[in-house]
Amino acid sequence: MTFHETVPYENSFLVEGKTFENAGHVSRQVKTLLQKMKFSKEVVRRAAIVTYEAEINICSYAERGKIVLRVTPKQINIEATDEGQGIADIELAMEEGYSTATPKIVHMGFGAGMGLSNIKRFSDEFHITSEVGKGTHLEMVIRT
């Protein structure tokens, strides 16, 4: 697979919620795809981080979700949509260290309250919308 054969590229990945059995699977697939497309190590690393954090949030808090990867020569768009509890206070949820993780999630090593702030930090653009009782939608852009 060469870069010119694969760009533009789009794929969607389903994420099962309320389980950590396959957590990290989508972010590994995204990382491998971007490496094969010959993006820089830094771009691949940033895309893998934001995908992983979004995926873990779906695994932790939602019934199910979907991550969509769209790649062009100039940017990588990652969109994560879930059907879950939603976020009541987005501003509070964006604070480093704030978490609503259950003791079970924390015991497994997740829920440190860094997910959304890491997504924002490693994205060139980040947008979040959420509706309590419906779910959350994240849009991340990484410029190449």
User: Looking at residue 119, which CATH number applies to its domain?
Assistant: 3.30.565.10
Percent of the chain with pLDDT over 90: 84
Range of the domain at 82: 3-143
Closest CA to 110 of 56, 46, 58: 56
Residue pair 81/88 in contact by the 8 Å Cβ criterion: no
Residue pair 69/48 in contact by the 8 Å Cβ criterion: no
pTM reported for the whole predicted model: 0.93
**Residue 67: pLDDT over 90:** yes
Closest CA to 100 of 136, 64, 60: 60
Q: How many domains does the chain have?
A: 1
Residue 65's pLDDT is: 98
Give me 17's structure tokens.
């919620």
